[in-house]
Amino acid sequence: MKEQIETIQADALAAVAAATDERSLDDARVAFLGKKGSLTLASAGMKDLPNDQKPIMGQALNVARTAITQAIDEKKAALESEADKKSVEGIDLTLPGRELLQGGLHPLTLVKDRAVSILRRMGFALADGPEIETEYHCFDALNTPDDHPARNEKDTFYFDSGKLLRTHTSSVQIRTMEKASAPVRIIAPGSAYRRDEIDATHLSVFNQLEGLYVDKDVKLGDLKGTLEYFLRAMFGTDTEVRFRPHFFPFTEPSFEIDVKLHVKGQEPKWIEVAGCGMVDPAVFSSVSEQRKDDAFDPENVTGFAFGMGIDRLAMIQYGIKDIRLLIENDARFLQQFA
């Protein structure tokens, strides 16, 4: 049997040496070391040998298997090296490499990250919520009456189930208050959806950043100071900011915020950037009723909320005149921000 093993080893080494590619090398491996290979079948005969011959034959099998395996590994390395050399034949390796184009963040991502960074330094924590919402979280809890235009199917994307694509990230404020207790200081960046006709200033899907601060003694001055600081950190310390009275169902009093835009060669003009206000007590009452406790009893807490479009901030920041440029993925346009 020892002579048989030595013969198998010699045949295997010859087959490995004769292999010209990885497939023929693998065929040789299977023929000798596979489940039905010559050496495997020879090792199966060990059980029929006398006990005094088993150690001798076992050692011979191990020597043969090791030699064949080593030869296969060396041949495989040689074949791979040869293939590598062929792959670069005719190529001048001394030529300089081609410059790799470097990517960059999308302008919306740049603006969002900057806004979030400023607000987090002011103590706001990030919060998130589902984009497919209930009418309660998107409208009812936010004191939005049944006849409000936003609840119409012409303005909002509804599902057959009665749920809808959220029209603002204000729903995250409600979900946060349902789970946490005051003080609450959160921001909620994310997508919002409305049935707007797409033009130079409107998209049906846009990016919003909303904020909420609730505590025992939050005043209108806190709201004004927070947003003035934020907008000047975004657009420059000399940025002029004004608050105009407005109406939102979920805040009272409510305001729209403008900043004065300075464009070279043009007269400065005011442009709306955000909406805000003190949280309407009806919102706190709705949350308290849902929680079944007095954690947000309007007699004990006050707060302010604000919301702004990240797309609009980006347009102001970079002087973009058509919002559609932000979703067309034109590399020529996006390269300006890389």
* Residues annotated in a binding site for Mg(2+): 252
Q: How far apart are CA 329 and CA 327, in angstroms?
A: 6
Distances (CA, A) of 87 to 19, 82, 92, 93, 322: 20, 9, 12, 12, 49
* Binding-site residue set: 252
Give Cα 223 to chain centroid, integer Å.
30
Rounded alpha-carbon distances, angstroms, from residue 65 to 75, 87, 126: 15, 33, 61
CA distance 164 to 302: 29
Measured in whole angstroms, the distance separating CA 80 from the mean position of its chain's CA atoms is: 39
Tokens linked to 335: 């390269």
Compute, in degrees rounded to 10, the torsion defined by CA atoms 82, 85, 90, 92: -170
Cβ-based neighbours of 51, under 8 Å, separated by 6 or more: none
**In terms of DSSP H, where are the helices of 122-206?**
135-138, 170-179
10 Å CB burial of residue 62 (0-12, 13-18, 19+) is: exposed
